[in-house]
Structure 1
Amino acid sequence: MKLLITRPMPDKVLAAAKARFDVTLRNDHAVLSAEELRAALRDYDVVMPTLGDRFQADVFADVPSPRATLLANFGVGYNHIDVAAAQAAGIAVTNTPGAVTDATADIALSLILMTARRLGEGERMLRAGQWGGWGPTQMLGAHVTGKTVGIIGMGRIGKAIARRCHFGFGMEVLFHNRSAVADAGVPARQVPLEQAMAADFVVVAVPGGPATHHLIGAQAFGAMKPTGFFINIARGDVVDEAALVVALTEGRIAGAGLDVYEFEPKVPAALMALENVTLLPHLGTACLEVRENMGLMAVDNLIAHLDGRALPNRV
């Protein structure tokens, strides 16, 4: 089978793929263009796409008889793929759940600490040669230990964040989830969205897609405390970015830590101008062993398809 891999991959992943497939590696970090999306469906038996490769309904409509029969997504999130349209075209879709859980939860805690304790701001000051030495009132931030955290979405990643907050920082855990969660893994209370948003720290960990688009908007930010910090490690379009900018610039919330953006890689200039916002370039799973595990899971899905077996991670 001819396999298209749409982005550069770790060597271990490429070796595993090349052992079973005729691989074409697209050595470009940019997302697939409109023509490349359509060519992927026309010219390859299977495709390993990833974040930003927007296989939407119009793409499938333009290739009514695709050669491709599987999109083995590299990543747990697949809101860039219209799964219903793919299935209607006879194309299965898989993802890589589990491989990203701990790394993404670690980034959430990193953003909580960086934003509350003004770590990015402090490093910028020091590197600019503006640090004049220690002082009792220098760069006072917010204390994290013992505070409340409101987690929006209590799936694998949400539960991993809850464990870190509870056991690591003695935080009280509140969470909002669209379905009942019998066991959050730690002492925690399931509450309405507005109550979770009123915690000292709010962390968004829901999947992307139409059901969660702009879940967090002006009304949700209105439920936050002026001393609250907002963290997003989910998908950028879960948040109404314009409403977030308003909440920050008008001082309605204390700060934000973001690893994802509504229109990434574009980041609003208004966000970049704010010192109380920590901005990361989508580093949630950026560890070699994690990316290797993600890629190998995607290859496992491809091999199962090649061998005619049930797909391990069909979505």
Structure 2
Amino acid sequence: MPETNPTQLLIARRVPQAVAARAVSEFRAYVTESDMDAWSVVDFCKKHDVRAVLIGKKSGLQEDHIAALPSTVKIIANASAGVDHMNVSYAREKGIVVTNAPDALTECTADFAMLLVLAACRRASEYEKIMRRGWGKSFGMTEMLGTRVNGKTLGIVGFGRIGRAVARRAQGFGMRVVYTDIQRASPSSENGATFFPNLGEMLPHCQVLSLHVPGGGLPLMTQKEFGLLPKGAVFVNAARGALVDEDALYDALTSGHLFSAGLDVYRNEPNVDARFASLENVFLTPHMASATVETRDQMGFTALDNVAAILDGRQALNPV
């Protein structure tokens, strides 16, 4: 006999308690206790005729997975901004709506990017290690010096929601902001930032560089691009590890061309290139830019809002 209260939604990744509670109440959702892989998602959907799926990186659905989904699935919701873990175009071909949560992460990611800028410029990793070892030695006027943030020029690659939010914060620290993107932003969105039509033209002007574009394809930052930065520049990445040739970054850091780096993302997550952990001039965090209670709740709620819209026969709020 058919289920009297069929599951409408599969939550295939771990989500905050508040998000899980709403999903169960509103959609009779099945909420996994550990992140599911893609084929487990497909198998569950076939067995339970679910209409919506909320996935994560581990359950990223590629073409073969999407082709195997039952026709009941109407939406694949992402609780993050990025969708590089799935085949969006093929899902569209199959008539499945794909959504993301582009606004939920903006402010916290911008906060975190500034944390990386400040920590890399002011040698936060080194200072913290000194204190945990017990300090015990005063430093003189010429020792353990960082580089000042105020007055520096920050280059932003990608002037979307997050890039613009970082620019506002940087201007609050007295930084000059330059940026590059596919097209120039409106004067009101620029808020005094200077546009460069391509990355190569902008890099020589960047004393600090921060990436805010999607990953995928060839690395954006290679030996050539790092070489275009002025000597003593600081590099920050809270976007995607795939944007960076890590051999080139390591060489730039060890040669002294870069003063330091602040990194939250890596090419082979979660198995980070151990060379970076050995460098004193790198501030490292484990892909945590959105990791606040408020943001993670909002990410989940945004995904559920999109599910509700599709299942009610309305347009998705955040279609990809």
Q: Which residue of 2 aligns with 1:189?
A: 194
1:56-75 matched pairs, under 5 angstroms: 56-61=62-67, 63=68, 65-75=70-80
- Does residue 81 in structure 1 map to residue 86 in structure 2? yes
Q: TM-score, structure 1 length as denominator?
A: 0.92
Unaligned runs of 5+ in 2: 1-6
> Structure 1 residue 101 and structure 2 residue 106: aligned?
yes
Q: 1:16 and 2:22 equivalent?
A: yes
- Aligned equivalents of 1:67 and 1:215: distance in 2? 39
- Whether 2:57 is the aligned partner of 1:51: answer yes
Give the Cα separation in 2 of the matches to 1:220 and 1:116: 20
Residues 237-276 of structure 1 deviation map (CA, whole Å, 9 limit, x = unaligned): 1222232222222332121111111121111011111111
Which of residues 152, 170, 186 is equivalent to 2:174?
Answer: 170
Aligned partner of 2:208 among 188, 192, 201: 201
Instruction: Report the CA distance between 1:120 and its aligned residue.
Output: 1.2
- CA, structure 1 residues 58+196, in 2 after alignment: closer, same or farther (shift >3 Å)? farther
8 A Cα contact 1:71 1:91, kept in partner: yes
Give the Cα separation in 2 of the matches to 1:105 and 1:57: 33
Residue aligning to 2:271: 266
Code of the residue aligned with 2:33 in structure 1: it is: N
**Count of aligned pairs:** 309
- Offset of 1:66 from its aligned partner? 4.8
Distance across 2 between alignment mates of 1:84 and 1:52: 19
Query: Distance between the aligned counterparts of 1:220 and 1:53, measured in 2?
Result: 34
Partners of 2:219 and 2:243 within 8 A in 1 = yes
Kept after mapping to 1: 8 A contact 2:10/2:30: yes
8 Å CA contact 1:104–1:233 kept in 2: the answer is yes
Q: Does structure 1 conserve the Cα–Cα contact (< 8 Å) formed by 2:109 and 2:290?
A: yes
* Aligned-partner SS, 2:147: coil
Asked if the contact 1:51/1:75 (under 8 Å) is kept, the reply is no
**Structure 1 stretch displaced more, 15-24 or 265-274:** 15-24
Partner of 1:147: 152
Looking at structure 1, the residues matched to 312 and 249 of structure 2 have their Cα atoms a distance apart, in angstroms, of 47
Residues in 2 aligned to 1:240 and 1:279: alpha-carbon distance in whole angstroms: 17
On the 8 A contact 1:60/1:86 being kept in 2, the answer is yes
RMSD over aligned CA atoms reads: 1.8
Unaligned ranges ≥5, structure 1: none
CA-CA distance at 1:121 after TM superposition: 1.1
How far apart, in 2, do the equivalents of 1:263 and 1:69 lie?
A: 32
Q: Distance in 2 between matches of 1:267 and 1:82?
A: 25
What residue in structure 2 maps to residue 137 of structure 1? 142
CA distance in 1, matches of 2:166, 2:57: 22
1:96 and 1:309 map into 2 onto residues whose CA distance is: 17
Distance, in Å, in 1 between the alignment partners of 2:243 and 2:194 is 23
Identity, in percent, stands at 39
Larger Rg: 2
Q: Which residue of the partner structure matches residue 8 of structure 2?
A: 2
